Amino acid sequence: MNVDSILFGSAYYDEYMPYDRIETDFQMMKEAGFNVIRIAESTWSTWEPEDGIFDFTHLHRMLDAASRYNINVIIGTPTYAIPAWLAKKYPKILSYNKNGQELYGHRQLTDITNPDYLRYAERIIRKLMEQVKDHPMVIGYQLDNETRSAGAASLETQALFIEKMKEKYPDIEDFNQEFGLDYWSNRIASWDDFPDIRGTINGSLSAAYKRFLRDVITDFLTWQSNIVREYIHEGQFITHNFDYSWIDYSYGIQPEVNQFDAALCMDVAGVDIYHLSQDKLDGAMIAFGGAVGRSLKKDNYLVLETEAQGRYDWVAYPGQLRLQAYSHLASGANSVMYWHWHSIHNSFESYWKGILSHDLLPNAPYREISEWRKEMLKIEEHLRNLTKKCKAAIIIDNSSLTGLDEFPISDTLDYNHILRWMYDCCYEMNLECDLISVNDSFEDYPLLLVPALYSATEETLRKLNTYVKNGGHMLLGFRSGFSDSEIKIYHDAQPHLLTECIGATYDQYTIPRNVSLEFDGKTYEVSEWMELLRPIDAEVWASYKHTFWNIYSAITHKRYSNGSATYLGCYIEKDGLKAIIRKLCEVAVIPLPYYTFPIIRKEGTNDFGKKVQYFFNYSSNNQEFIYDGDDGKELIGNTPVKTGERIILKHWDLVIIEEN
């Protein structure tokens, strides 16, 4: 989605305010350069305090103020947090899961397949849309909020799953065979005998149910989108704020949502990105989150939520909010929007601080983002709608994530850690990557990285084989090609259908202890996982250094038709993985800069068809580098820059160079 002006703003909640200050808030937002706010998605009980009684007073106060101050509005459907009266009236709306039934209070605790919930959700969506559909400041709509299925496993929801299984496996014997249900007497002779899924010990069946729940979310968002599309006007858009896996901050791909499928019903992808700050700010989550965002629709995306202050240890050093905002734009974002405008004075997120602190006065975050907006507006036409074309891609896959959850490698090494290990190495080397699904085309990328593709159809594996045959260069990570789409383990040489491509195989794997490997003259520690590779006709790039395991290979490489396949059979320290990726970039003829993290380079093409390069310093120390691009202009300072020029980056600072 192209924009005339980068969207800049925050979520705003008049209904949360301790006193009436809407004029003060909008005046402050306008002075800060806001051109958009997000409203309405969190307060169903405000819009409908009693069954069938509606009160949109706060909604119209915000819309009227937006008109007076010429600030655009994104409306969120309020379906992710239900009113207490609805839970009381229809208790089954609260999800049943492995822990029993949810208790009312939290958000995202509803069974989104429940017909009573869907009926009331449709009613509030339509009532809201009738209030806002013709308002001139409304530019778009956000469906729900970081949608979840709440692990729904009521008898009614499980019945929907059984119907899906019946459709896929008309012959129940095929179902028994595919899922290996003879094991521990789990076989069923009739669909009426299907047991409660919450008690299953069958990893394939558990994974199939999790996939079903991901599909439930896709169907739910598509259903909402169809309702909203009945009301929207030309020029308005539909989006959703997709989030990520969570380890006290955003981290990897979201395990509960197939975001590629869910985004199909939307006009533009939106994301919520939260990350570490202060000395731990490295920009990696911003880049990773952006790579997911732009990959969902193969286009620019919206940052609908990111932190201004957030948690206690996220309060940014001076200059970091500015650096973060530019970091989003450099990844292809067309917006920077904060959660949220003001810190809340009671309830669950009281100490997830917004732009303003609890005194609601102008403060350091407010002043810094205001100054960033003024600075950015002077060069905005050179930065908006950045088109990025990466030479490397990393496959991301929910099915494999689920497979490794069902059959984990270790307590510390899950799919997202393997994915981020691979992504972060590329990021720190300044190799920008797209994140793509197995259904996307691989052919445009000279280098394809495949982390732990544990669950893969034969179609996908043949597609990888063809990619290499046609001239692509692939790094295939351990635990790839091991099981099919139902997490049933392939019963031939591993990795399935790819042994000819990689020129190696294995049938043993273990947890390494006191194991290392040598690659290009340097020794790297092996930990967490190792496969005992036996080369067939591949070149051995590294073998294990160990008294007994030294007879096995750790890394193999094979020229295969017009391309090459490298297999990495173990988890190694990041410097070792970087060395492998650097060598593969040489094979794929992808030039890398000599400078690495904490200097990060991002690039793209702007609306003028010119190459724009961002250079960030993610550290508290000054950094310097020799500029290796074409002659151009540094946009912020409006100064000429020549190839070979020495550039000094101050701490937590950046330069933006547009080539001539």
pLDDT in tens, 587-610: 999 999 999 999 999 999 999 999
* Residue 20: C-alpha distances to residues 24, 62, 287 (Å): 9, 12, 39
Listed in sequence order, the DSSP H helices in 90-202 are 115-132, 155-168, 172-179
> What's the pLDDT band for 101 if we cut at 50, 70, 90?
very high
Give 173: exposed, middle or buried? Use CB within 10 Å, 0-12, 13-18, 19+. Answer: exposed
Average pLDDT over every residue of 24-52: 97
pLDDT at residue 533 above 90? yes
Look at residue 471 in the predicted model and tell me its pLDDT: 98
pLDDT at residue 452 above 90? yes
What pTM was computed for the model?
A: 0.97
**Cβ–Cβ under 8 Å, residues 326 and 283:** no
pLDDT in tens, 534-555: 999 999 999 999 999 999 999 9
Mean predicted lDDT score pLDDT of the chain: 97
Average pLDDT over every residue of 603-622: 98
pLDDT at residue 114 above 90? yes
Average pLDDT over every residue of 144-156: 96
Look at residue 80 in the predicted model and tell me its pLDDT: 97
Buried b vs exposed e over 559-570: b needs ≥16 C-beta within 10 Å? ebeebbbbbbbb
Q: Report helix angle 57-69 to 22-31, nearest 10.
A: 40
Yes or no: domain 392-587 corresponds to CATH 3.40.50.880: yes
pLDDT in tens, 390-419: 999 999 999 999 999 999 999 899 999 999
Average pLDDT over every residue of 378-388: 98
Return the bridge partners of 302, or none.
270
- Ranges of each domain in the chain: 40-58+75-239, 392-587, 599-659
Look at residue 293 in the predicted model and tell me its pLDDT: 98
Q: How far apart are CA 58 and CA 70, in angstroms?
A: 18
pLDDT at residue 431 above 90? yes
| The architecture CATH gives domain 40-58+75-239 | Alpha-Beta Barrel (3.20)
Look at residue 351 in the predicted model and tell me its pLDDT: 94
Q: At 119, give phi and psi (nearest 5°).
A: -65, -45
- Widest CA span of the chain, in angstroms? 76
Q: At 300, give phi and psi (nearest 5°).
A: -60, 160
Average pLDDT over every residue of 224-237: 97
Q: Identify how many contiguous H helices and E strands the chain contains and give both numbers.
A: 18, 31
Cα–Cα nearest to 281, from 561, 30, 653: 653
Average pLDDT over every residue of 485-506: 97
pLDDT in tens, 6-21: 999 999 999 999 999 9
| Fold category of 599-659 in CATH | Immunoglobulin-like (2.60.40)
Contacts of 1 (CB under 8 A, 6+ apart): 237, 267, 268, 297, 299, 300, 302, 334
Look at residue 411 in the predicted model and tell me its pLDDT: 87
Average pLDDT over every residue of 37-45: 96
pLDDT in tens, 179-230: 999 999 999 999 999 999 999 999 999 999 999 999 999 999 999 999 999 9
Average pLDDT over every residue of 307-335: 97
Return the bridge partners of 543, or none.
553
pLDDT in tens, 158-167: 999 999 999 9
